[in-house]
Chain A
Amino acid sequence: MDNITKTELDNVVVRFSGDSGDGMQLTGTLFSNLSAILGNEISTFPDFPSEIRAPQGTLGGVSGFQVHLGSSKIYTPGDDPDVLVVMNPAALKVNAKFIKKGGVIIFDADTFDKSGYDKAGFTTENPFEELAISDTIQLIPAPLSTLTQSSLEGFGFDNKTVLRSKNMFALGLICWLFNRPIDQAIHFLQNKFGKKPTILQANIKVLTDGFNFGNNLHLTVSTYFVEKSHETPKGKYASISGNKATAWGLIAAAQKAGLQLFLGSYPITPATDIMHELTARKDMGVKVVQAEDEIAGITSAIGAAFAGSLAATNTSGPGLALKSEAIGLAVMAELPLVVIDVMRGGPSTGLPTKTEQTDLLQALYGRNGESPAVVMAAGTPDNCFHYAFMASKIALEHMTPVILLTDAFIGNGTSLWKLPKLAELPDIKPHYVKPDMENYKVTSRDEKTKVRYWSVPGMEGFGHRNGGLEKDYYSGAISTDPENHQKMVDTREEKINNISQYIPELKIEGSTDADLLVIGWGGTQGHLMSAVNSMNKKGKKLALAHFNYINPLPKNTIEIIQAYKKVIVCELNSGQFATFLRSKVPAVEFLQYNKVQGQPFTVSELEEHFTSLLK
């Protein structure tokens, strides 16, 4: 014990890595949740292989789960891990290049044998030397498999079942390393396995043994402690993924608007969890049609919107491409519709499990004809809730399709979520026809906002024929009149532009007299915020303008951007938002920082690049 030191850290990054079947996600989730209960800020990110179950112990089967804990506000799951837990040599090989100097690697020594090395493609018997990390890393070898086996002796489980509890041994060990009492973990296990007492007992036993194993280690190793965060506003919190938050934002909006929620959906990575969340909510009357394809997903939703529901469809890039024509129909029919695109690496099938921001121009322009739609983007896992809610509100109050962009990173990642109450959320008032309205036509609209009045089947006296053909502005009948078409095109455009009056103005983070204005949008929010804050703490002068509303842009956008000498647009694509901004603010020279690798930014690469611009 004498050699074990206790280091207090402001924040720490832990990555759990193993085979897809090793239960790393559960271990990571339990660890981050119990840290949050003890007062830490948390942010997590899973990293799945696209294969469901690749051969055990091979590089292709490695799946990871990263947890970032902080005693002050944290915005990302962290760049490189301080602590790496690897369940086999393959997991070591995949992650070795990321571990921080001086970091700790806990590894299952039982899997570090000839067979394990072969499967991972190591050519020697010392993988740490082979990876040239043996001098810079602290190693904690723990024969997790045999220790778990002896821990569960007498339980009468078969070996396969026994080894499934290895992850609990690792969790116990991690709790020791971070000076965490295990009571909270036990409490979680009681909730999870309460109905299976033997499994519960077994997991608690292994967890406790893992913790005690750490306690009895006689190694020169540092343990860590992360103090409570005092920056987190008081209140009730939970950990939530972006996809779940998105689904729940729709649920909240439906209840607020007094409408039934309908989702038309076709499974697609990484967006499917939104459907899973919603179809589980039959208790709240949510209707989900798992459609025969992406097109039926959106067109069934358009049917539901026509029939008076809050209608949504969720997808990823390839699916958004298939939905293009139907989004055009919703534009033309002026129906409320929420289209959620959880972006992934493209083009084509691309990198289905990896993150990118490459669908922006598709969302803005990927339709035939002059076809304006609202485009928004959530920035963090927890604010997916807010933006899904706001997307619904805008769709219903302005009678338009709204495309909400999230991505694999924030969709699958989790963050701390301050729990909302329905009463605290803004009202949603669908733009219904007024009951006393005379001579209603399908094109009847509020002349000021250009928003069409919504009448739905069942309302007596307001029957109408809607459709994708151009309509006469006044009578709503089919029209090919040249001037009328111009007027209708202009009207649809004006209706969308007018929404800028109803969305919040752009707010600047950091200093107003900054030497560099950093511009971002959507899921890069955490990384950009962390980089800008960190540099400002070091005495640099940076500002961040992060966009969640893209079409229309906040009405003070031009004014803000023009106030800075140097402006850089950072995004996970080749410059799509920069291109868009150039069309809106032509006088400004926009620098770009782009990355298209299927991975989020790292805070360190951003800081490095910004620093180079300030020289």
Chain B
Amino acid sequence: METTEKIRNQYTAKDFKSDQYVRWCPGCGDFAVLSSLQKVMADLGIDPHQTAVISGIGCSSRLPYYISSYGFHTIHGRGAAVATGVKVANPELTVWQITGDGDCLAIGGNHFIHSVRRNVDINVLLFNNQIYGLTKGQYSPTTKKGYVTKSSPFGTVERPFRPAELTMGARGTFFGRLLDVDLKTAQMTILAGAKHKGTSIIECLVNCVIFNDGAHGWLAEREFRADRTIALEHGKRMIFGKEGNKGLVLAGMNLKVVTIGENGITENDILVHDASCEDTTLHMKLALMEGPEMPIALGVIRDVAEESYDAAVETQIAEVQVKSKIKTFDELIESLEQWEM
């Protein structure tokens, strides 16, 4: 049980581990995200019993069983709607939604865009391995075009979704991205998502060793990772690379990689990341960068302050309650046009 004798709000990752055996395949990228999440939960210091972890269906959606909090493993695609109900019913709770690329973007696409649009204060970990794992290897809405899977033996002919585009298209206020093997950036990103008031979409690039091994291999390789990814931080210059000498600048309407010290480029020429900017143009450019010319953006790409849906619901109720004379059922009955018989 999660009752603890400790001083409140002092937790370690272990306090968020349940007694359940974790049943993912050995080598699955989900393990790393799970432990990053448990670490962040401890750092946040929110009581396990004030924490609700909601999921849909899929490999990643098993995650709530492994967190020692209140958890709910619901039905395919509906996690966002269930989480909305949980958060609106009790805004005091910290609500996490665990979902995958199929659960979130195929069967749950409608709930995804609408929870993002409403800006419900939930933290969404979107595990994107570009494949259906639990049903054993069919292509998903994020599988690269042409990729051969069990349901696309001649390669998919479908154009994939890019979660960042959907999020920003649905007027999302927070978008972050992490890579399973990059724990430092992962924890930083999850923590920022948890602190954001509104729907935080955190795309977790995870590897499926069985059905889509190496989907993110290009950027995951340790020796090249620093050159192929950029960990964005609000207010900091967009500098990356093994030598720390590469940076992003604007060239016309597009981003371009430059090397500091070459062609007269100095550190001051490099763009400063503003995650809080309401305009999505640059956030979208950053989120959609692709190799090999450009690094893949990790970290907090967008983090814009706006009132959350659940807070707005509370505010409106409070406003109406101040004005109305009706507080109880009996008073409600009295308000009816009525007569004696």
CA distance A456 to B71 in the complex (A): 10
Known: A264-B85, A292-B114, A307-B52. A466 touches B71 (CB 8 A): yes
- CB B140 to nearest CB in A, in angstroms, measures 20
Residues of the A chain whose Cβ atoms lie less than 8 Å from the Cβ of B18: 465
- Chain A, interface size category, equals 35 or more
Please provide the chain B residues from 292 to 322 with a CB less than 8 Å away from any CB of chain A in the complex: 313, 316-317, 320-321
Residues of the A chain whose Cβ atoms lie less than 8 Å from the Cβ of B1: 439-440, 461-463
In the complex, the chain B residue whose C-beta lies closest to that of A236 is B338
Q: State which of B88-96, B201-209, B234-242 sits at the interface with chain A.
A: B88-96
Asked if A326 contacts B78 (CB within 8 A), the reply is yes
Residues of the B chain whose Cβ atoms lie less than 8 Å from the Cβ of A439: 1
Q: Pick the contact of A291 from B20, B54, B81, B341 — CB < 8 Å?
A: B81
Number of A-B contacts (CB under 8 A): 212
Asked if B50 contacts A281 (CB within 8 A), the reply is no
Please provide the chain A residues from 274 to 311 with a CB less than 8 Å away from any CB of chain B in the complex: 281-285, 287, 289, 291-293, 295-296, 299-309, 311
CA distance A307 to B49 in the complex (A): 11
Residues of the A chain whose Cβ atoms lie less than 8 Å from the Cβ of B316: 282
Asked if A458 contacts B92 (CB within 8 A), the reply is yes
Asked if B73 contacts A467 (CB within 8 A), the reply is yes
Asked if A300 contacts B81 (CB within 8 A), the reply is yes
A20 on the interface (CB 8 Å rule)?
A: no
Known: A237-B338, A296-B110. A307 touches B75 (CB 8 A): no
User: Helix, strand, loop or mixed for chain B's interface?
Assistant: mixed
Residues of the A chain whose Cβ atoms lie less than 8 Å from the Cβ of B135: none
Residues of the A chain whose Cβ atoms lie less than 8 Å from the Cβ of B337: 33, 188, 191, 238-239
Asked if B338 contacts A306 (CB within 8 A), the reply is no
A325 on the interface (CB 8 Å rule)?
A: yes
Asked if B88 contacts A262 (CB within 8 A), the reply is yes
Q: Pick the contact of B73 from A304, A458, A469 — CB < 8 Å?
A: A469
A457 on the interface (CB 8 Å rule)?
A: yes
In the complex, the chain B residue whose C-beta lies closest to that of A261 is B89
B154 on the interface (CB 8 Å rule)?
A: no
Asked if A421 contacts B78 (CB within 8 A), the reply is no
Known: A234-B341, A238-B337, A465-B64. A260 touches B48 (CB 8 A): no
Known: A308-B90, A457-B70. A283 touches B78 (CB 8 A): no
Contact with B along A63-101 (1 / 0, CB 8 A): 000000000000000000000000000000000000000
Residues of the B chain whose Cβ atoms lie less than 8 Å from the Cβ of A255: 328-329
Residues of the A chain whose Cβ atoms lie less than 8 Å from the Cβ of B20: 465, 477
Residues of the A chain whose Cβ atoms lie less than 8 Å from the Cβ of B326: 281, 283-284
Asked if B86 contacts A306 (CB within 8 A), the reply is yes
A252 on the interface (CB 8 Å rule)?
A: yes
Residues of the A chain whose Cβ atoms lie less than 8 Å from the Cβ of B329: 248, 251-252, 255, 284, 422
A402 on the interface (CB 8 Å rule)?
A: no
User: Helix, strand, loop or mixed for chain A's interface?
Assistant: mixed
Interface centre among B82, B114, B333, by most chain A C-beta atoms within 10 angstroms, is: B82
CA distance A311 to B88 in the complex (A): 12
B336 on the interface (CB 8 Å rule)?
A: yes
Asked if B341 contacts A465 (CB within 8 A), the reply is no
- CB B28 to nearest CB in A, in angstroms, measures 18
Please provide the chain A residues from 256 to 277 with a CB less than 8 Å away from any CB of chain B in the complex: 260, 262, 264
Asked if A289 contacts B84 (CB within 8 A), the reply is yes
B324 on the interface (CB 8 Å rule)?
A: yes
Asked if B341 contacts A237 (CB within 8 A), the reply is yes
Contact with B along A459-479 (1 / 0, CB 8 A): 111111111110000000110
Asked if B82 contacts A303 (CB within 8 A), the reply is yes
Residues of the A chain whose Cβ atoms lie less than 8 Å from the Cβ of B57: 468
Residues of the B chain whose Cβ atoms lie less than 8 Å from the Cβ of A467: 64-65, 71-74
6 extra interface residue pairs, beta carbon distance < 8 Å, beyond A284-B329, A296-B81: A36-B339, A287-B313, A292-B114, A311-B85, A457-B50, A460-B3
Some 10 contacts from A to B, beta carbons below 8 A apart, are: A251-B329, A255-B328, A283-B321, A284-B327, A304-B89, A456-B70, A457-B50, A460-B49, A465-B18, A477-B20
